[in-house]
Amino acid sequence: MKMKICVLPGDGIGVEIMAQAEKILGRITEVFGHEIEIDYGLIGGAAIDEKGSPLPTDTIEICRNRDAILLGAVGGPKWDEIDKSIRPEKGLLGIRKEFDLFANLRPAILFPELKDASLLRPDIVDKGIDLLVIRELTSGIYFGEPRGEEIRNGQRVAFNTMIYSEDEIRRVAKVAFEAARKRAYRVCSVDKANVLDVSQLWREVVIDTAKVYPDVQLNHLYVDNAAMQLVRDPSQFDVILTSNLFGDILSDEAAVITGSLGMLPSASMGQKKPDLYEPIHGSAPDIAGRDLANPLATILSVAMMFKYTFSLDKEARAVEEAVQKVLAQNFRTGDIMSPGMIRVGCNEMGELVVREIG
């Protein structure tokens, strides 16, 4: 198969983790006989520095005719004081919106090898964690209008709008029900319907969408309760369906209970290509450029790309199994380190995974 990919390393550790992802791509195409065409683009702070915008138009054009985009991370203290309208994060939000990538899939799986790295009590982790957060990604409070800051009664006020249309809710709910059919047939929709009008509509539309999926069990939790249940007993969840803001928060929580933010991949998709793959963690400026980052979330994002964009299940499994083998051999980056394990850097972790493929 011929694959057309655009790599956007971004800022901070984005550059080093993406270098490892590229090694994996190279190895898989070699072993399985595929052809790959890689282009590169600027995004985030790196793009601000070079082009004056976090999402330059030529980056969008490079991505447009690709099958998939692989993105590292954006942001860092260097751009914290910058004009709000061109913050590095605008690059990420912009690319999601540009390609209408409304469904964000964030699987949180506990590798048995990493049980000791989890923050949860052993009796809780022993029940296992294997859940999939499906986060709406192109609407809600992240994009709602009106938004802004103004003077009212002599003082500054700022506001955002949490808004969803029926269609926006329905299309992401469908993705969740379809995903549940490939898993354990359970969807938990998370909202704040006891307080928010937008959540009441969310719940009504999800219930209505569920009618054509009678084989999938649906329940609802308020977001505060869901956050609590995630640490109390994560094994109760299969697919969690939620809005943009709640999904942002819950997916970090789901990630860290599995051991580290550095382990979790994500896929963002719309109705058509390109799809976008990125680790769920940020640019970690504190450790950037020091070969300390964990590249596994990005490497596992490459596995998701094989599976979802190219339907190459064997290739996806080869990557996932290679990661598992390296963990079973006790190699760990700093973030997942525990006593008795062998500490390696970002680059060596990438090499180790490559060695286990094929």
Nearest to 238 by CA among 101, 128, 140: 128
11 binds Mg ion (CB under 5 A): no
Tokens of 312: 């190459």
* CB 53, min distance to Mg ion, A: 22
113 binds Mg ion (CB under 5 A): no
248 binds ligand IPM (CB under 6 A): yes
Among residues 192, 238, 275, 307, the one annotated as catalytic is: 192
Nearest to 8 by CA among 54, 64, 73: 73
If the CB atoms of residues 280 and 322 are measured against ligand IPM, the closer one turns out to be: 280
Q: Radius of gyration over alpha carbons of the chain, in Å?
A: 20
Other C-beta atoms lying within 10 Å of the C-beta of residue 228: 13
Helix (H) and strand (E) counts in the chain:
12, 14
How many residues bind ligand IPM (CB under 6 A)? The answer is 6
Which residue in 89, 98, 116, 178 binds ligand IPM (CB under 6 A)? Answer: 89
The residues in 224-253 that bind Mg ion, with binding defined as CB under 5 A, are 248
Q: Which does 89 bind (CB under 5 to 8 A by kind): Mg ion, ligand IPM, none?
A: ligand IPM
With CB under 6 A as the contact rule, which of the stretches 85-93, 126-134, 255-263, 347-355 interacts with ligand IPM? 85-93
Could you tell me if 326 and 356 are in contact, meaning their C-beta atoms sit under 8 angstroms apart?
yes
92 binds ligand IPM (CB under 6 A): yes
278 binds Mg ion (CB under 5 A): no
If the CB atoms of residues 104 and 199 are measured against ligand IPM, the closer one turns out to be: 104
Among residues 58, 167, 208, 224, the one annotated as catalytic is: 224
Distance CA 83, CA 212 (A): 47
* CB 142, min distance to ligand IPM, A: 7
Looking at the chain, list the stretches that DSSP marks H as alpha helix, in order from N- to C-terminal side: 14-32, 45-51, 57-64, 88-98, 122-125, 166-181, 197-210, 223-232, 244-257, 296-308, 313-328, 346-355
Catalytic-residue membership of 185? no
Strand partners, 343: 332
The residues in 35-64 that bind ligand IPM, with binding defined as CB under 6 A, are none
Catalytic-residue membership of 192? yes
* CB 137, min distance to ligand IPM, A: 7
If the CB atoms of residues 25 and 297 are measured against Mg ion, the closer one turns out to be: 297
Half-sphere exposure of 356 (CA within 13 A, CB side): 20
Distance CA 304, CA 71 (A): 13
* CB 325, min distance to ligand IPM, A: 29
Distance CA 187, CA 118 (A): 24
The residues in 211-240 that bind ligand IPM, with binding defined as CB under 6 A, are none
* CB 255, min distance to Mg ion, A: 9
Catalytic residues: 142, 192, 224, 248, 252
Binding site for ligand IPM (CB under 6 A): 89, 92-93, 248, 280, 282
